């Protein structure tokens, strides 16, 4: 039973401890850091979906589900006498103060770019006792490749390894497209994969220069494709026709219809 004087966050921590206790929930008691891995990732993506949908109630609830994962991991660590949720909060509090000297100290940073440059500099200094390190340290290997490419390019741009003009970025995309075409002509599978990767990396860089997060852009394109293809499936079903037996030309015509319907809807 929670105490009436508890804050909602304290109540959450208390509930999690109860679920993991001797008389708690059998499923919660069985979980480990490793078994919870997929849930942490899934909840993060559900937060993004709720954010895109624009429903505050859903967004609030999904943030709660993600917060639960943080509290869950901290509770397991506390039971193993490693750290607890207060240590987690203390660590991020200390980091935020340390990496915002323009707010909590006497360093000056008038623009967002200056803030990010200072952030990376302080981060490298924090790791100084372990060696010089790299600007690219700290990027998780398990991060989605598209997002990781974006973050790599963001980080090196802060130390001036970047093009100033969008035309140079577009030229790089053209150059990588030519190199992929050459690899295709040579039918060199390994080279085709490498050049395809280089082209994707260049497109991510173009996206960054356009201030369009590539993960968001691709997610919307995925959703658009799914929406239009479902229109094709529904249209064929109404006609009593099979998707598998339809010709490409028939499918392409229905695809154009789906595009036109969306265009007409936007116009309306």
Domain ranges of the chain: 8-96, 134-212, 215-267
8-96 and 134-212 share one CATH topology?
yes
Give dist(CA 221, CA 65) in Å, integer: 27
Alpha-carbon distance 63 to 57, whole Å?
10
Tens-digit pLDDT profile for residues 232-262 = 999 999 999 999 999 999 999 999 999 999 9
Give per-residue pLDDT as tens, 166-220: 999 999 999 999 999 999 999 999 999 999 999 999 999 999 999 999 988 998 9
CATH topology of domain 134-212: Helix Hairpins (1.10.287)
Report pTM.
0.68
**Cα(210)–Cα(204) distance, integer angstroms:** 10
Residue 268: its pLDDT value, please?
A: 35
Contact in structure between 149 and 201 (CB atoms under 8 Å): yes
**Residues 9-31: tens digit of each pLDDT:** 999 999 999 999 999 999 999 99
Q: What whole-number distance in Å separates Cα of residue 107 and Cα of residue 120?
A: 14
Element (H, E) at 57: helix 56-79
Nearest residue to 77 via CA among 146, 16, 166:
16
- The CATH class given to the 8-96 domain equals mainly alpha
Cβ atoms of residues 59 and 50 within 8 Å: yes
């Amino acid at each position: 039973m929670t105490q009436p004087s508890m804050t909602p966050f304290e109540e959450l921590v208390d509930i999690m401890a109860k679920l993991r206790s001797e008389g708690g929930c059998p499923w919660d008691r069985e979980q480990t850091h490793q078994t919870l891995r997929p849930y942490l990732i899934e909840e993060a993506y559900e937060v993004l979906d709720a954010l895109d949908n624009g429903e505050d109630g859903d967004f609030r609830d999904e943030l709660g589900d993600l917060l639960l994962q943080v509290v869950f991991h901290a509770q397991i660590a506390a039971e193993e006498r490693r750290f607890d949720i207060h240590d987690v909060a203390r660590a991020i509090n200390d980091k935020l103060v340390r990496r915002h000297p323009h707010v909590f100290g006497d360093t000056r940073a008038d623009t967002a770019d200056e803030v990010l440059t200072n952030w990376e500099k302080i981060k490298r200094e924090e790791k100084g006792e372990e060696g010089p390190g790299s600007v690219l340290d700290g990027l998780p290997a398990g991060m989605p490749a598209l997002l990781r490419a974006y973050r790599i390019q963001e980080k090196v741009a802060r130390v001036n390894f970047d093009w100033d003009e969008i035309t140079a970025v577009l030229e790089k995309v053209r150059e990588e497209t030519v190199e992929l075409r050459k690899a295709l002509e040579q039918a060199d599978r390994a080279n085709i994969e490498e050049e395809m990767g280089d082209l994707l990396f260049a497109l991510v860089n173009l996206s960054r220069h356009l201030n369009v997060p590539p993960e968001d852009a691709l997610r919307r394109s995925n959703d658009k494709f799914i929406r239009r293809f479902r229109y094709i499936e529904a249209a064929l079903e109404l006609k009593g026709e099979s998707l598998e037996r339809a010709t490409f030309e028939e499918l392409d015509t229905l695809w154009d219809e789906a595009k036109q319907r969306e265009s007409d809807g936007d116009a309306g």
